[in-house]
Amino acid sequence: MTPPPAKRQKRNEYRKANTAVADDASEIRLPQKKFYRQRAHANPFSDHQLNYPLSPAHMDWSSHYPAFVDPEPSHTNLAGTRKLLKDVEVVDIGCGFGGLLIGLAPLLPESLIVGMEIRVSVLEYVTARIQALRSQQQKLRSSAIPSESSPAAQQPQQHHQQQLQATETAADAASPSSPDATGETLSLVPGNYQNISAIRSNTMKFFPNFFARHQLSKIFICFPDPHFKARKHKARIISETLNAEYAYALRPGGLLYTITDVEEYHHWVLRHFGEEGADAGQNAGVTELFERVSDEELEKDDCVRVMKEATEEGKKVTRNKGNKYVAVFRRKADPEWPA
Amino acid sequence: MAATFQYPFQCIKSVERRNSGRQLIIGSAGPKIYTYAAETGERLGIWPETANTAEAKAAPSTTGEEPPEKRRKVSPPPDQKPEDSEPASQKSRKPEASPAWSTIPILAVSADGEYVVAVTAEDKCIRVFEVEENGALKQLSERQMPKRPSAIALADDDRTILCGDKFGDVYSLPLIDTGKGSVAPRAPAKVRPDQPAATTLTVHSKRNLASLEQQLRHYGQKDKNSAEEKPSSTFEHHLLLGHVSMLTDLICVSIPMDSSSEKKRSYILTADRDEHIRVSRGPSQAHIIENYCLGHTSFVNSLCIPQWAPEYLVSGGGDNYLLVWRWNEGRIVQKVPLVDETSDSEVAVRGIWVTDKMVLVAIDGSAKLLCFTLESDGTMKAQNSIQASGNVLDLTISSKDSAVLVSVDAVHVAGSTQEWRATPSSSSTLIEAFRLKSDTENVEWEPMSEAITSQVNSQGTSEISATLEEKQKKELNDALYSSGNLRKKNLGEDE
């Protein structure tokens, strides 16, 4: 699909202007979503031009999490790039514009979180957004250090509150001139957004190239493409066969979070994790590797709140007064080998 | 002068029948399967029978004129799509009709030598045959799979067929059809909902709302004539695992749990077009992935575990190297180059086989059969190769004398997957046999002139006209050399 020339030209101009701004570094601006929009669907079965590591041991994470790079330069992975002090352990599959990542970052400041997105422009947006947030934090930190408790340091906080309220309603609205209005950055946050990043990938094909066995503690699948037509159901990100790959990458005790606004998809999810349908409670196939987490437990889980409120889709559903269906599953230990 | 080629054997298997001890050779050429007595090369049967009564009558030595009706056996034009019009359970095919498939790309034989499993290409059917007393094949069942099968293995002491397909799914089917319907866990999902999954709460744009409205109307109408439900498949099959990529090879292996234990654990190894080799537990727990063997940068086409060193796996595909793995650990033992480092020619591994001490590797469109020994540390050492008279298509190893029986392509120029030979030779070569020279230190191969090869070659298979249209030629090229199509090309710029 070729975008109309005018659109393309505007985007190019915007990007050029952006790099100019980045060069003078006087002002840090968040990217504007309108220059990065892309058709909501990508065919997961076609051969995209993708970069993916040969194996998890070949993945260069150092460029994604510079603050977590192992200070010892001789510690390198199989591809010869610097190792990190810890492994990535939280994944947002289909991270879209990155709302969940940014919401999770302060909640899990010690965990490395990665978003995966198949759409090029959307990924560019997330990357630019995280970069800008990190720079803002950097700036705030350097200005906050001299007088940490001074009123000056609190002022942005208030400003932040106001802006949040002001932008909550307009966040996704298509008002053309509004700068990207995610104002949650004007205060220092735990982790300074150094713990989040995003990569372009087709997770349906290449998930095992990025993550080793039992590497992950949390997987998020938020508002997945519902693929309404039955003919397209095989393109859904949740299926019996893909759930086996999630089980492989999740450590026992790890959690897989799902949220959708499509009731039918919610039942699809429950069915494919063995909570509903003919196999409910029978523990047949891959469903024996997961158990559903109770509602009481979810109420105490901040990640669920972020998933409901911080994602772009979540906000949109709230605006449209839609429903949100949450289901979280815990990875059980592998069963014994058959005798 | 009738310028005709013979269909080469796309698959060839040596069969040792456990009950009678008889040795057979079976091969698939074009749309047919031929069986031969291994000792004499005498042809014992052709399947399907009805389509070739004329040929069965022909004396073994005739290589001359060809009965006109055989011409019809070339593949049907692609736009006819025979697989869609053919119901799976069609038992009484009209005797005159040419078969619904043009090639039989996969053959598998049960360990006891009593059953043969074949995949017919266009109609996506898995067919199970019983090997009869006289060596002929009797079809027991035909089961049409949802997608075209691309790899077959037998598991559970021959009781189960594992079938990998073009869409990456692996199903298990009982070897002997139970006649029971499928109880695949996906079944409930297939039940048609009585309303669309989308609602006004989930779609908002003008266009989507309009199409939702239309759907609602449509669903209302359907209530009246909901009787026409498409019947789901009528045979038992279970989805075991799936890749989101074309499945290219599949093997099932059992190894001792540890060195001190008698207990064995079974595993399924699957390879796909996106460079992955996945190691899963055996059929009953195939949803548990033990690890991945990641190291290829192009499609993986062939997996081979020597029965005498089951801890090692040799894999190959679109890369110009083979990999030797300790597959249970996902660890590469060795990268074995297939061509000179300097050459940038593309190679595709066609198949990997093991004899009782050697690993043999065929390259797509090559008459040279590479030969390696596997050392005790798991590294492979190149030995003298075998030179066949045409491209190697398949091979089988006789269990009796370890002779290597190679199926040779006498249609194409040796070394090419596209170019046809100018003139068909008077008696075309279908198979050649080789054995290790026994009196030398080094590995040296010598051709064998046994009854089997001369007899099989002189009887021929069915014939292909040498004056085919380019399009038909290309179809045959693609049928015989499909792995080139696995390579990823024309990756569009995404935006």
Q: Is the pLDDT of residue B447 over 50?
A: yes
Does the annotation place A221 within a ligand binding site? Answer: no
Interchain contact A213–B (C-beta under 8 A):
yes
Q: Count the Cβ atoms, other than its own, within 10 Å of residue B246.
A: 22
Judged by CB atoms closer than 8 Å, whether chains meet at A38 and B193 is answered as no
- Give the nearest chain B residue to A206 (CA atoms): B274
Q: Which residue has the higher pLDDT, A277 or A264?
A: A264
**Could you tell me the residue range of the domain that residue B256 belongs to?**
10-48+101-181+234-394
Give, to the nearest 10 degrees, the angle between helix A302-309 and helix A312-319. 60
Q: Is residue B210 part of a domain?
A: no
- pLDDT band of residue B71 (cuts 50, 70, 90) is very low
- pLDDT band of residue B491 (cuts 50, 70, 90) is low
Q: Is residue B221 part of a domain?
A: no
- Identity of the residue numbered A124: E
Which residue reads 């390198």 in tokens?
A76
Taking the CA of residue B105 and the nearest CA in chain A, the distance in Å comes to 24
pLDDT for the residue numbered A282: 59
Taking the CA of residue A149 and the nearest CA in chain B, the distance in Å comes to 46
pLDDT for the residue numbered B495: 44
Over residues B388-395, mean pLDDT: 93
pLDDT for the residue numbered B483: 83
Domain of B151, CATH number, reads 2.130.10.10
- Site from A51, A205, A206, A211 to mutate, B interface, most B CB atoms within 10 angstroms: A205
Q: Is the pLDDT of residue B340 over 90?
A: no
In eight-state DSSP terms, residue B233 is: P
For residue A227, give every residue at least 6 positions away whose Cβ sits within 8 Å of its Cβ, in sequence order, or none: A233, A235, A236
pLDDT for the residue numbered A142: 84
Edge-to-edge strand list for the sheet holding B9-16: B9-16, B23-29, B32-37, B43-47
CA-wise closest residue to B70 among B139, B7, B1, B119: B7
Q: Is residue B229 part of a domain?
A: no
pLDDT for the residue numbered B318: 93
Taking the CA of residue A209 and the nearest CA in chain B, the distance in Å comes to 8
Over residues A176-205, mean pLDDT: 76
Could you check whether the bond before residue A53 is cis, i.e. omega within 30 degrees of 0? no
Q: Is the pLDDT of residue B478 over 80?
A: yes
Q: Is residue B262 part of a domain?
A: yes
pLDDT for the residue numbered A209: 96
A40-51 pLDDT, tens per residue? 778 888 888 888
Q: Are B12 and B104 in contact (CB under 8 A)?
A: no
Q: Is the pLDDT of residue A241 over 60?
A: yes
| Residue A8 in tokens | 């393309």
Interchain contact A109–B (C-beta under 8 A):
no
ipTM of the complex: 0.83
* pTM (two decimals): 0.84
Interchain contact A283–B (C-beta under 8 A):
no
B42-59 pLDDT, tens per residue? 899 998 876 444 444 433
CA-wise closest residue to B380 among B315, B434, B439: B315
Q: Is the pLDDT of residue A167 over 50?
A: no
| Residue B72 in tokens | 């019809």
Q: Is the pLDDT of residue B475 over 90?
A: no
Share of chain A above pLDDT 70, in %: 82
- pLDDT band of residue B87 (cuts 50, 70, 90) is very low
Share of chain B above pLDDT 90, in %: 47
B119-176 pLDDT, tens per residue? 998 999 999 999 998 889 999 999 999 999 999 999 978 899 999 999 999 999 999 9
Q: Count the Cβ atoms, other than its own, within 10 Å of residue B166.
A: 18
**Contact residues, chain A, for B244 at CB < 8 Å:** 44-45, 204-205, 241-242
Over residues A103-108, mean pLDDT: 95
Separation between Cα atoms, residue A56 and residue A65, nearest integer Å? 16
Does the annotation place A113 within a ligand binding site? Answer: no
Q: Which of A228, A322, A338 sits opposite B196 (nearest CB)?
A: A228
Q: Which residue has the higher pLDDT, A143 or B414?
A: B414
pLDDT for the residue numbered B2: 53
Q: Is residue B208 part of a domain?
A: no
Over residues B185-208, mean pLDDT: 66
Q: Is the pLDDT of residue A74 over 50?
A: yes
Residues of A labelled as active-site residues: 225
Does the annotation place A312 within a ligand binding site? Answer: yes
pLDDT for the residue numbered B422: 82
pLDDT for the residue numbered A156: 44
Separation between Cα atoms, residue B371 and residue B358, nearest integer Å? 7
**Contact residues, chain B, for A213 at CB < 8 Å:** 289, 291
Over residues B9-19, mean pLDDT: 91
- pLDDT band of residue B110 (cuts 50, 70, 90) is very high
- pLDDT band of residue B220 (cuts 50, 70, 90) is low
Separation between Cα atoms, residue A181 and residue A184, nearest integer Å? 9
Interchain contact B285–A (C-beta under 8 A):
yes
Q: Are B287 and B315 in contact (CB under 8 A)?
A: no
- Give the nearest chain A residue to B329 (CA atoms): A213
- pLDDT band of residue A134 (cuts 50, 70, 90) is very high
B306-327 pLDDT, tens per residue? 999 999 999 999 999 999 999 9
Q: Is residue B157 part of a domain?
A: yes
Q: B360-369, B448-457, B484-493: which range is least confident on average?
A: B484-493
- pLDDT band of residue B401 (cuts 50, 70, 90) is confident
Q: Is the pLDDT of residue A15 over 90?
A: no
Q: Is B114 exposed, middle or buried (0-12, 13-18, 19+ CB in 10 A)?
A: middle
pLDDT for the residue numbered A152: 43
Count of domains observed in chain B: 1
Interchain contact A70–B (C-beta under 8 A):
no
pLDDT for the residue numbered A30: 82
Q: Is residue B139 part of a domain?
A: yes
- The 3-state DSSP class for residue B135 equals coil
Q: Is the pLDDT of residue B269 over 60?
A: yes
pLDDT for the residue numbered B223: 53
- pLDDT band of residue B188 (cuts 50, 70, 90) is very low
Does the annotation place A77 within a ligand binding site? Answer: no
- Site from A1, A43, A236, A286 to mutate, B interface, most B CB atoms within 10 angstroms: A286
Taking the CA of residue A37 and the nearest CA in chain B, the distance in Å comes to 10
Does the annotation place A202 within a ligand binding site? Answer: yes
Over residues B362-382, mean pLDDT: 93
pLDDT for the residue numbered A10: 80
Share of chain B above pLDDT 70, in %: 82
pLDDT for the residue numbered A260: 95
Q: A210-224, B73-87, B348-362: which range is least confident on average?
A: B73-87
Strands B264-272 and A112-117 turn out to be unpaired
Q: Is residue B125 part of a domain?
A: yes
